Structure 1
């Protein structure tokens, strides 16, 4: 990796927690300069605008999440185990490690104001849902889950309930809402286990 590429990656990594906590609108160039310890020109040399940097930051955060979840799920041999492992991962790591969910944090701002970010967030939502659907379908094919387990419906339920629980947990400064939601989602799997 060339020096310019390393510097660009450094800016993305140092800016990521700032954007994820403060949002795009709430993050100033001064915040980015403070996080990176670079002058404004040093940041602008690699990114033409704060918005361009925010797109790269979202890519970075969603890749981190995707890779971390993939690492957890890959190690579990059964579909049932993968589904529970996925839910456990979301329950235990999202609030502490990343300061919340990038899909929620970036998506809430981009829904009506930034069509490029909206498209990126939408793609991340589909990856999230499709992973759950694939686990359930694989479990149905190998006899772990009954055929009446509606993979699409459950994936939508997991995503929407999870995102709402993250939001409320952050607002109330308590992981209780997320923990309880994950417990509910786990319980809903039980009737479909063969």
Structure 2
């Protein structure tokens, strides 16, 4: 990496938790200046404006989340254990894998009616998460451990929606009681499809 690329990456890494915690609209360039100890001019050398920086920060937060979830999943061998690891990686929204909480939830809620670029990024992240679940279940069907008649594509949508809904409910309530109910029931549904 060149010095300029290193500085750009540094700015993204320092600003990502701020955008994920405060939101795009509420994050000021002065917040980024404080976090990076760089001048406004230095920031604008690397990013045309706050929106361009925010888009990079969103990508960084999403990649960080998916890397942490994928790492947990990849440590397991069976399809069932991989699905359980996916759930468990996100089961405590009060101690999220990414500072500020789930970036899909945070940015999706903020941008659903206001920012098409961010909305598209979040939608792609949803699709990617659902596809990860689909791929795991297809592995389980292929290896004979899961019901081949399972409507697993619909289940992937439901599982992902339940987790995301549990995240927002838990963060608003300040406890994970409802998320515990959700994760317990997702695991029960998975167990019902095992052979």
Residues 95 and 101 in structure 1, CA contact (< 8 A), matched pair in contact too: no
Kindly report the root-mean-square deviation, in angstroms, between the aligned alpha carbons of the 2 structures: 1.4
Deviation at 1:92, TM superposition (A): 4.2
Larger % of helix: which?
1
Equivalent residue number for residue 80 of structure 2: 80
Equivalent residue number for residue 3 of structure 2: 3
Figure out how many residues of one structure are paired with residues of the other and give that number: 194
Equivalent residue number for residue 12 of structure 2: 12
Residues 91 and 179 in structure 2, CA contact (< 8 A), matched pair in contact too: yes
User: What is the alpha-carbon distance in structure 1 between the residues aligned to residue 48 and residue 88 of structure 2?
Assistant: 39
Deviation at 1:148, TM superposition (A): 2.5
- Contiguous gaps of at least 5 residues in structure 2: none
- Contiguous gaps of at least 5 residues in structure 1: none
TM-score, L = length of structure 1: 0.94
Equivalent residue number for residue 50 of structure 1: 50
Kindly indicate whether residue 129 of structure 2 is the aligned counterpart of residue 128 of structure 1. Answer: yes
Query: Secondary structure of 1:158's match?
Result: helix
User: What is the alpha-carbon distance in structure 1 between the residues aligned to residue 129 and residue 35 of structure 2?
Assistant: 29
Residues 65 and 97 in structure 2, CA contact (< 8 A), matched pair in contact too: no
Residues 94 and 171 in structure 2, CA contact (< 8 A), matched pair in contact too: no
User: What is the alpha-carbon distance in structure 2 between the residues aligned to residue 174 and residue 94 of structure 1?
Assistant: 7
Equivalent residue number for residue 102 of structure 2: 101
Distance 1:61 1:94, change over 3 A: farther
User: What is the alpha-carbon distance in structure 2 between the residues aligned to residue 2 and residue 94 of structure 1?
Assistant: 37
User: What is the alpha-carbon distance in structure 2 between the residues aligned to residue 137 and residue 39 of structure 1?
Assistant: 50
Within 5 Å, which residues of 2 pair with 1:1-194? 1-92=1-92, 95-98=95-98, 99-194=100-195
TM-score, L = length of structure 2: 0.94
